[in-house]
């Protein structure tokens, strides 16, 4: 991923800044700048998610692309935030440590290193809440 492409989404990736449609009240993460329900009637504002949520589904990636191969095996999950939106994230846990419904909270972590540019990409991962 190019530096500009990564940099553009830093607030979202570092701080879980998503959006909310004031017209219908729906929360979006990953952020959307266009509400699929309200369309042009939608009024979109930024919203910072506290990041509390739960695991909807999960897997353990054992074979990855080159950027992520050094992390294998790693736990990947779809997280549902308490406000409703779902998105994909890594969970800092051992294989078998999480299950459907496990409560999680966000942590700031290194996501991947870009081999070509040497840039280290940071972002949000999750940890199980005990």
Partner 1 sequence: MRDVAVIGIGCTPFGEHWGTSFRDLFIQAGALALEDAGLSGEQIDAMYVGNMSAGRFIDQEHIGALIADYSGMATRHIPSTRVEAACASGGLSFRQAVIAVASGMEDVVVAAGVEKMTDVGTGTSVDTLAGAADREWEGFVGATFPGLYAMIATDYMHRYPLTREQLAQVAVKNHFNGARNPIAQFRQEITVETVLRSSLVADPLRLFDCSPITDGAAAVVVAPLERAREFTDRFVKVRASAQASDTISLHDRADISRLDATVAAGRWALKDAGLSHSDIDLVEVHDCFTIAEICAIEDLGFCRKGDAGRLTEEGVTALDGDLPVNTSGGLKACGHPVGATGIKQICEVVQQLRGEAGKRQVPDAVIGMTHNVGGTGATVAVHILEAI
Footprint of Zn ion on this chain (CB under 5 A)? Answer: 21, 23-24, 35, 37-38, 42
First-to-last alpha carbon distance for the chain, in angstroms, is: 35
Going by C-alpha positions, the residue among 67, 93, 68 that lies closest to residue 79 is 93
Cα 123-129-130 angle, rounded to 5 deg: 150
Going by C-alpha positions, the residue among 87, 89, 127 that lies closest to residue 105 is 127
59 near partner 1 (CB under 8 A): yes
Among 77, 93, 102, 106, interactor with partner 1 by CB under 8 A: 77
- Least distance (Å) between residue 95 CB and partner 1: 7
54 near partner 1 (CB under 8 A): no
Which residues contact partner 1 by CB under 8 A? 1, 9, 30, 56-69, 71, 74, 76-78, 86-90, 95, 100, 111-112, 121, 123
């Amino acid at each position: 991923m190019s530096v500009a492409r990564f940099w553009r989404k830093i607030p979202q990736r570092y701080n879980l800044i998503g959006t909310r449609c004031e017209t219908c009240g729906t929360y979006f993460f990953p952020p959307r700048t266009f509400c699929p329900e309200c369309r042009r009637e939608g009024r979109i504002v930024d919203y910072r998610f506290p990041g509390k949520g739960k695991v909807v589904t999960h897997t353990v990636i054992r074979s990855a692309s080159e950027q992520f191969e050094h992390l294998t095996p790693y736990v990947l999950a779809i997280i549902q935030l308490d406000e409703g939106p779902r998105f994909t994230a890594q969970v800092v846990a051992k294989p078998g440590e999480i299950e459907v419904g496990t409560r999680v909270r966000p942590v700031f972590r290194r996501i991947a290193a870009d081999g070509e540019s040497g840039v280290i990409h940071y972002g949000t991962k999750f940890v199980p809440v005990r």
